[in-house]
Amino acid sequence: MSGPAAPRRPRRHDPGRRDRLIDAALTVIAERGVAGTTHREIARVADVPLGSVTYHFASLEEVLREAFTRHAEAAAQVFDRRLSAVRDRDAAVEAVISLVAEDLLGSQDDLVLAVELYVAAARNPVLRAVTQAWMQRSRRALERHFDPTTARQLDALIEGLVLHSALSTDPMTPGQIRQAIERYLR
């Protein structure tokens, strides 16, 4: 035990701090939820003083918006990457299966972030815009290989599979994921 506060190395010059704060915010959202995301907690995770968070962001909502935007962008790139690499429909089906079984279910944090964004978006129009842009982008990616109706339904199925897996004590196995998607896409 060495006093009430940990010594903090001075770091007056720290370019890129704003970026690190956004990453720290995503960590906090995943760990404690949007409701547990406070200036203090973000500052603690980023190892910067409290005032630094309020200096770089005019409000907590701004932090959340930027954090979720960054997360959605990264998630959308995964979609794009998986689906732009394939040429025929069979490969597309495999790509969707891998996307769900590996990318989406692979990271517990990402699952949690998705659900947190959904619930936050239910009450915050700014975040709803982020969600909708994300949904639209994933639908566009699916439409490269599937007709619009199928793409939309598939997108909902993916969402449901991910959500169920995130909350279940008994998540689906990759084989079950494969079966569900193949059944839908013939």
Partner DNA sequence: CATGAATGAGTATTCATTCAT
Partner DNA sequence: GATGAATGAATACTCATTCAT
Q: How far apart are CA 54 and CA 49, in angstroms?
A: 10
> Per CB under 8 A, does 32 bind a copy of itself?
yes
- Which range binds a copy of itself by CB under 8 A, 39-47, 75-83, 87-95, 154-162? 154-162
Among 15, 16, 58, 88, binds a copy of itself (CB under 8 A): 58
Helices (H) and strands (E) in the chain — how many of each?
10, 0
Q: How far apart are CA 37 and CA 44, in angstroms?
A: 11
Compose the 109-148 pattern: x for residues touching a copy of itself by CB under 8 A, - for all others.
Answer: ---x--xx-xx-xxx----x--xx--x-------------
CB within 8 Å of 59: residues ≥ 6 apart: none
* Per-residue buried b or exposed e for 143-176, using 16+ beta carbons within 10 Å of the residue's own CB: bebbeeeebeebbebbbebbeebbeeeeebeeee
Contact residues for DNA, defined by CB under 7 A: 4-5, 8, 10-15, 17-18, 36-41, 48-56, 58-61
* Least gap, CB of 82 to a copy of itself (angstroms): 18
| CB-nearer residue toward a copy of itself: 1 or 87 | 1
131, interface contact from DNA, a copy of itself, none, CB < 5-8 Å by kind: a copy of itself
Q: How many residues bind a copy of itself (CB under 8 A)?
A: 48
- Structure token pair of residue 165: 């897996």
Contact 161, 177 (CB under 8 A): yes
Q: C-alpha dihedral over 21, 23, 25, 26, to 10 degrees?
A: 170
Binding site for a copy of itself (CB under 8 A): 1-4, 32-36, 55-58, 62, 112, 115-116, 118-119, 121-123, 128, 131-132, 135, 149, 152-153, 155-161, 163-164, 166-169, 172, 176, 179-180, 183-184
